[in-house]
Amino acid sequence: MDLGLAIKERALTIGFDLAGIAPLGVWRDLEFSRQWVEKGFNGEMSYLENPKRFDPRLVLPSAKSVICLGLVYNAPFPCSTEVSEGTGKNQESGVRSQKKEDRARNPLVRPGPPVAGDDGQRTTGNGQPTPRAWISRYAWGHDYHQIMRARLEQLRAVVEELAPGVETRVFVDTGPVVERAFARFSGIGWMGKNTCIINQEKGSWFFLGVILTSLELAPDLPAPDRCGSCTACLEACPTGALVEPYVMDASRCISYLTIELHCSIPDEFRPKIGHNVFGCDICQDVCPWNNSRQSSVLSSQQVTSQQRHSSDRHHATHPATTKVSQFHPMTVAAIHPAPEDGGVRKQLTTEDGPLTMDDGPLTTDHRPLATGPASYSLYNPPLDALASISPEGFRRIFAHSPIKRAKLSGWLRNLCVAMGNSGDERFVPWLEQAAKRSDPVVREHAAWALKRLRGK
């Protein structure tokens, strides 16, 4: 059997959803990446300036081929563009589909369905819906770096078994390699106008990993660009980060602003962030290749005549969902006010004993902001529940989550912005306390949110 084919088949057996071989010489795309950085589109992400990113031979001098892998992380829950910022509507749709055996090792969290009331909503005593937050789909569960890395190491062992003496290097979004440039030439997908790699059968909800190898493997044919005349992603981006098709100014992207940026978010972008507290999914949510309700439109309007006659053209199907339970939304045990302290402090009992939360519930007149369930999901979670997580809780709950990358300061900053955008004055007491914190970034954004709420 052809060595490249054998490697790809083993990759699928290990659990990857996509596998392809790219040549080393994708120089035009790598030069584009270098020029992109020179234009300042990387913002404060200085690690993207590493010269090794623009020549893989500086990473592995013997490199001749790149094995590209994709792992779907899409969980079967509605998109951010399909839910209300003020309610948990549509949340219940995925509750009963989750397997009961999904559990995480962290005693504070577990993979599981969104937990909500019978109608999937949280309300106050007067029935007013509680504002909700949005966490990017890729961060609902376990840190993908760990899961992808483990599988890549499995495949690396296979490659070394099939070709003793081969040299390899493994990367998953952490090393000096432009994974998307190679993925585009590996056949697993094309570069979409939203700058994500899109696969015609599975959409774009998948992680990328690569293995540089000294083997000279036969490359796969690049996938044809099937975006057609569609500009849904460019039109939907709230901050105008997609400055033109296939070009993103990351310094304007909500994901960058809420994760990679560690200082103040520019004033002009704060209202546009909406209820996003970690990342943003909008440009993927609106993509017809990720949305079965829109895919029929794509098939009839956005596909060229040549593609219509192609035997592998896109058909209206549901986007692929993950087989990895750790990518499903984690469920966080809620902390309820203790009756003897008037709801000022909250406790959570874990396997290690009670965990005291120093931040009290959001209140207006010494009553909790919302009457919530026993636990809540990271899918479209209640904003007040996220705000009730203490510094210690943040470290423990998100110990194995991508969310830890924002750090506590960034997390609190993002919560302030979401509260300011919620229009809900019940957040005023929490923000008043946040405005007194020692962290100047948190204080600044709390003051901004208070001004926005009081001036509404």
Mean pLDDT of 130-153: 96
237 and 385 both lie in a single domain = no
383 and 449 Cβ atoms separated by less than 8 Å: no
What band does 173 get if pLDDT is binned at 50, 70 and 90? confident
Note the pTM of the prediction, 2 decimals.
Answer: 0.81
User: Among candidates 323, 94, 285, 293, which has minimal Cα distance to 204?
Assistant: 285
Only one residue has tokens 């509260």, namely 419
In a 13 Å sphere around the CA of 442, the CA atoms on its Cβ side amount to: 19
C-alpha–C-alpha distance, residues 455 and 428, integer Å: 12
Q: Predicted confidence band at 111 (pLDDT cuts at 50, 70, 90)? A: very low
SS3 percent helix, strand, coil of the chain, rounded to 5, is 40, 15, 45
Residue 192 lies in a domain: yes
What pLDDT is recorded for position 19?
98
Which token pair is 314? Answer: 């896109």
For the segment 188-212, what is each residue's pLDDT rounded down to a tens digit?
A: 999 999 999 999 999 999 999 999 9
Distance in angstroms (rounded) separating the CA atoms of residues 12 and 202: 14
Say yes or no: 16 and 68 in one domain.
Answer: yes
68 plus 91 within the same structural domain: no
Q: Which residues, listed in sequence order, are joined to residue 109 by a DSSP beta bridge? A: 332
CA distances from 302 to 58, 242, 245, 287, 313 (A): 40, 19, 15, 12, 11
Q: Are residues 209 and 278 in the same domain?
A: no
Q: Rounded to whole angstroms, how far apart are CA atoms 447 and 267?
A: 12
48 and 115 in a single domain? The answer is no
Specify the pLDDT at position 82. Answer: 87
Residue 306 within any structural domain of the chain: yes
pLDDT score recorded for residue 335: 60
Percent of the chain with pLDDT over 70: 75
Burial profile 220-242: b = 16 or more Cβ within 10 angstroms, e = fewer: bebbeebbeebebbbebbbbebb
Structural domain count, the chain? 3
Find the largest Cα–Cα distance for the chain. 72
Mean pLDDT value across residues 218-241: 96
- Please tell me the distance from the alpha carbon of residue 343 to that of residue 37, in angstroms, as a whole number: 50
Angle at 163 between CA 160 and CA 168, to 5 degrees: 45
- Summarised one tens digit per residue, pLDDT across range 79-94 is 999 886 654 443 333 3
Q: What is the structure's pLDDT at 375? A: 85
Contacts for 151 with CB less than 8 Å, ≥ 6 apart: 14, 15, 16, 69, 71, 209
Same domain, 275 and 198: no
Domain annotation covers residue 9: yes
43-81 tens-digit pLDDT: 899 899 999 999 999 999 999 999 999 999 999 999 999
Of 290, 319, 348, which residue is a domain's last? 319
Q: Range of 240's domain?
A: 232-319
Neighbouring residues of 408: CB distance < 8 A, sequence distance ≥ 6 = 391, 394, 395
Boundary of a domain, candidates 213, 241, 258: 213
Final residue of a structural domain among 319, 339, 370:
319
Tell me the per-residue pLDDT of 334-350, one tens digit each, with 9 for 90 and over: 664 433 333 333 333 32
Residue 402 scores a pLDDT above 60: yes
Same domain, 63 and 153: yes
pLDDT of residue 373: 53
Q: Are residues 38 and 117 in the same domain?
A: no
Please tell me the predicted confidence (pLDDT) of residue 455: 85
314 in the same domain as 344: no
pLDDT at 356 over 70: no
Residue 129 scores a pLDDT above 70: yes
- The answer to the question of residue 226 being in a domain is no
| Average pLDDT over the chain, rounded to an integer | 81
Q: Is 394 a domain residue?
A: yes
Rounded to an integer, the average pLDDT of 269-282 is 97
Least confident of 5-14, 46-55, 237-246: 46-55
Q: What is the pLDDT of residue 363?
A: 33
- State whether 53 and 95 are in the same domain: no
Q: Is pLDDT of 313 > 90?
A: no
Mean pLDDT over 172-177 rounds to 89
Greater model confidence, 137 or 303: 137
Q: What is the pLDDT of residue 96?
A: 30
Cα–Cα nearest to 290, from 206, 380, 204: 204
Assess contact for 90 and 44: CB atoms under 8 A: no
Same domain, 53 and 163: yes
Helix or strand run (H / E) with residue 243 = strand 242-244
What pLDDT is attached to residue 365? 31
Res. 11: pLDDT tops 60: yes
Is residue 32 assigned to a domain? yes
- Which CATH number goes with the domain that contains 122? 1.25.10.10
Q: Is position 221 within any domain? A: no
Report if residue 224 sits inside a domain.
no
308 and 373 in a common domain: no
What residues act catalytically?
173
Q: Locate tokens 């209202």: which residue?
A: 271
Q: Is 228 a residue whose pLDDT tops 50?
A: yes
